[in-house]
Structure 1
Amino acid sequence: MTLKTPAGKPRFRSLGVDLPGRPGPLNAITDVPGVAVGYTTLVSGESVRTGVTAILPRPHETVAHPCAAGWYSLNGNGEMTGTTWLTETGALSLPVLITNTHAVGPCHRGVIDWVAANKPDGAHEWLLPVIAETWDGYLNDINAPTVQPAHAMAAIEAAATGAIEEGSVGGGTGMNCYGFKGGSGTASRLVSHGPQEYTVGAFVQANFGSRRELTIAGSPVGALLADDNPLEEWAVAQAGAGSVIVVLATDAPLLPGQCTALTRRVPLGLARTGTSGSHFSGDVFLAFSTANEGALTSGFPAESGGFETLRFVPWGLMDSFYEAVVQAVEEAVLNALTANETMTGREGHRTPHLPRERLVGLLRR
């Protein structure tokens, strides 16, 4: 299991603190075979602190093959496009992108442009990409037209399997979490099901929570780390605002409704880190299963007289998968916090990083 990111940034387990469950070899969403993650990170001058994250459910060459999928909104003060079609069909067949609130449009266009250029057969009728967002306007000039369709296309092209970077990268570049520097984080858990072993991976864009709420490995440390909190001094009336997007992936064969059931367990993992869910935080979650490839097609026009078959885990045996979601989401948030340094951005706004050595001392106490 990797204790550092590819760039050498520390991950939470490098602090010597144990968490429950069995992580995959990378402890990342990319432990799910075929799942790839790519970033476009945009940092320049004093006011550009943003980017795009692309998550591909399948490799580039088979990216259009549908996956069973479901979604859930804990709080709707946020955006995840394409969810009405997900509800209708239970299928996901395009890259999922995460960015900042005002860059949803360019990223939506970027996915369409990428498909038209690379998978033209998939662009003959209509495309309804899934684009999600969180707000980075404290550190980034969110109203500037920084993110363009080409940046979304670049993130898709950069998507790769294996160990992935965390912290202030991609869509998470300008994000904050519990008053500390937040952003992109990931983790995974292995689940035994009879003789089979499956993986549940989580990816978070963490931009939520008030400092006083922060709980780590069961210890309420937020109040003990209350100093140096310029974000909440700036937005005292909306402490805890910002949003969180979580994408879950698994290779376990699941129905679309079971994917939705996984997303409903995401808030339990977030709650382990302390949040009570701010009204000003858009908390929206997506889950997909890479099993049953070749099913859940929705061709146009549809062939008459055909049938499709789904193999799935019995509902009564889903508990171990729910547990994996809760554990992976908690650790993904902690990885996003740990793999970070202090950032200064728009108008001199500064967000401190999680004081790792101080935290370890508190946890040992």
Structure 2
Amino acid sequence: MSSELVSPSRSLGLICGSMPVGPNNRITDVSDVTVGHFTLIDGDQRTGFTAVLPHQDNLFREKLPAAVEVINGFGKSAGLVQVDELGSLETPILLTNTFGVGTGVNYLIRRAVSENPEIGRSTGTVNPLVMECNDGYLSDIQAMALTETDACAAVEAASEDFEQGSVGAGTGMSAFGFKGGIGSASRVFELAGQGYTLGALVLANFGRPGDLVLPDGRMPHPKDFRQSEERGSVIIVLATDAPLESRQLKRVAKRAGAGLARLGAFYGNGSGDIALAFSTAQRIMHFEECDVIARDIIAEDKIDLLFRAAAETTQEAVLNAMIASPAMRGRARNKRPSLADWCTANEA
């Protein structure tokens, strides 16, 4: 299927950058990566979990190189300190609302222990990775309604084909005064005659109303918004099959910020903006038998291709999250309008 048909932003003629896109224009264009959602819409609840599985084997035993870039640290995520220190990823990645982090942590620990009974006994503990945004404008976050069973459902639903918009962790999110949510995009490139992919998945819940800049230069201004300051957050997950070590992945993650800036974001005081990047090219064995191991990495002077891909995919993924999300009314009758509706009514 043409990426033109599977990208919400491209269906409206909004093109981010110039690099070629992957076959489905999603993070799952990176081989072995899958994404799943659990969505809760009930009464005042507009929330959920989104799971990213970096590969389909035992992640604790076969870790992946990873890195995190904290663009602005107003956030309550779990697991980022160890990723930053050790440069590796050893559980699926869960995205959820701010008060769902502890529930997600407990589920990931139980999942890892069930697969690896030696955790906390004959070997070290496990580093569960859960990242969050605050969906409290549209959802009753104080209810703490999400359960470990819901987190498990998101992981078990993971596949190459997944929905974008108001699903999973993105169900109750807002962006630039419009409805936000989950979005994804990908780019392909060549190094030494071999093809590689970089994909992004975002949880978009950030941006001051009126600041959004579309790729064609238009600046949508949502009606009836109450928020005038930047108080949201955005989580960006970048995956690539190019061989990078953790230091290089941190450099790539940093460039996600360029994609946010293209949209008009300035990383406000109350915004938790975090980018995590990982590579599927080579695995790190938990029970490594060698004292010294060899790794392939790309030459530093070729990394600009990945920098550009990170900026372009982040920008497009945010737009896809917003355009795929219809208008929604939630807690206290609060409402977020749809960017797609605005674009249709204000054609360029």
Q: Which residue of 2 aligns with 1:142?
A: 141
Q: Which residue of 2 aligns with 1:39?
A: 37
Judging changes above 3 Å, is the alpha-carbon distance between structure 1 residues 24 and 123 closer, same or farther for their aligned structure 2 residues? farther
Q: Aligned letter for 2:105?
A: H
* Counterpart secondary structure, 1:58: coil
Q: Which residue of 2 aligns with 1:171?
A: 169
Which residues of 2 match residues 183-222 of structure 1 at below 5 A? 183-222=181-220
How far residue 361 of structure 1 moved from its aligned partner, in angstroms, is 6.7
C-alpha distance in 2 between matches for 1:361 and 1:49: 27
Aligned mate of 1:325, from 307, 310, 327: 310
Gaps of 5+ in 1: none
How far residue 63 of structure 1 moved from its aligned partner, in angstroms, is 3.2
The alignment status of 1:77 with 2:62, answered yes or no, reads no
C-alpha distance in 2 between matches for 1:119 and 1:13: 43
Kept after mapping to 1: 8 A contact 2:90/2:127: no
Q: Aligned letter for 2:99?
A: H
Aligned residues: CA RMSD: 1.8
* Counterpart secondary structure, 1:212: coil
* Counterpart secondary structure, 1:291: coil
C-alpha distance in 1 between matches for 2:192 and 2:119: 37
Kept after mapping to 2: 8 A contact 1:249/1:290: yes
Which residues of 2 match residues 206-285 of structure 1 at below 5 A? 206-222=204-220, 225-226=221-222, 228-230=223-225, 233=226, 235-236=227-228, 239-285=229-275
Instruction: Give the number of aligned pairs.
Output: 343
Q: Aligned letter for 1:73?
A: V
How far residue 311 of structure 1 moved from its aligned partner, in angstroms, is 0.4
Judging changes above 3 Å, is the alpha-carbon distance between structure 1 residues 355 and 335 closer, same or farther for their aligned structure 2 residues? closer
C-alpha distance in 2 between matches for 1:62 and 1:328: 28
Aligned mate of 2:95, from 95, 98, 109: 98
Q: Which residue of 2 aligns with 1:354?
A: 339
Kept after mapping to 1: 8 A contact 2:9/2:320: yes
How many percent identity over aligned positions? 37
Aligned mate of 1:63, from 40, 59, 80: 59
How far residue 135 of structure 1 moved from its aligned partner, in angstroms, is 0.5
How far residue 123 of structure 1 moved from its aligned partner, in angstroms, is 6.3
* Counterpart secondary structure, 2:152: helix
How far residue 272 of structure 1 moved from its aligned partner, in angstroms, is 0.9
* Counterpart secondary structure, 1:153: helix
Q: Aligned letter for 1:199?
A: T
Deviates most, 93-102 or 119-128 = 119-128
C-alpha distance in 2 between matches for 1:334 and 1:94: 28
How far residue 119 of structure 1 moved from its aligned partner, in angstroms, is 4.4
Aligned mate of 2:299, from 314, 333, 340: 314
Deviates most, 148-157 or 325-334 = 148-157
Judging changes above 3 Å, is the alpha-carbon distance between structure 1 residues 158 and 355 closer, same or farther for their aligned structure 2 residues? closer
Q: Which residue of 2 aligns with 1:287?
A: 277
Kept after mapping to 2: 8 A contact 1:33/1:251: yes
How far residue 88 of structure 1 moved from its aligned partner, in angstroms, is 2.1
Q: Which residue of 1 aligns with 2:10?
A: 13
Kept after mapping to 2: 8 A contact 1:115/1:123: no
Judging changes above 3 Å, is the alpha-carbon distance between structure 1 residues 3 and 63 closer, same or farther for their aligned structure 2 residues? farther
Q: Can you list the C-alpha shifts for 1:8-56, whole angstroms capped at 9, x where unaligned?
A: xx711111333322110010000000001011111101x1000001101
Deviates most, 70-79 or 123-132 = 123-132
How far residue 363 of structure 1 moved from its aligned partner, in angstroms, is 5.7
How far residue 241 of structure 1 moved from its aligned partner, in angstroms, is 1.3
C-alpha distance in 1 between matches for 2:333 and 2:185: 32
TM value normalised by structure 2: 0.93
C-alpha distance in 1 between matches for 2:330 and 2:116: 38
C-alpha distance in 1 between matches for 2:212 and 2:277: 25
C-alpha distance in 1 between matches for 2:89 and 2:201: 17
* Counterpart secondary structure, 1:13: helix
Kept after mapping to 2: 8 A contact 1:213/1:220: no
C-alpha distance in 2 between matches for 1:363 and 1:63: 46
TM value normalised by structure 1: 0.89
C-alpha distance in 2 between matches for 1:220 and 1:80: 33
C-alpha distance in 2 between matches for 1:211 and 1:122: 46
Judging changes above 3 Å, is the alpha-carbon distance between structure 1 residues 144 and 4 closer, same or farther for their aligned structure 2 residues? farther
* Counterpart secondary structure, 1:324: helix
* Counterpart secondary structure, 1:156: helix
Gaps of 5+ in 2: none
* Counterpart secondary structure, 1:337: helix
C-alpha distance in 1 between matches for 2:137 and 2:294: 48
C-alpha distance in 1 between matches for 2:111 and 2:4: 34
Judging changes above 3 Å, is the alpha-carbon distance between structure 1 residues 355 and 30 closer, same or farther for their aligned structure 2 residues? closer
How far residue 360 of structure 1 moved from its aligned partner, in angstroms, is 5.4
C-alpha distance in 1 between matches for 2:308 and 2:224: 33
Deviates most, 84-93 or 310-319 = 84-93
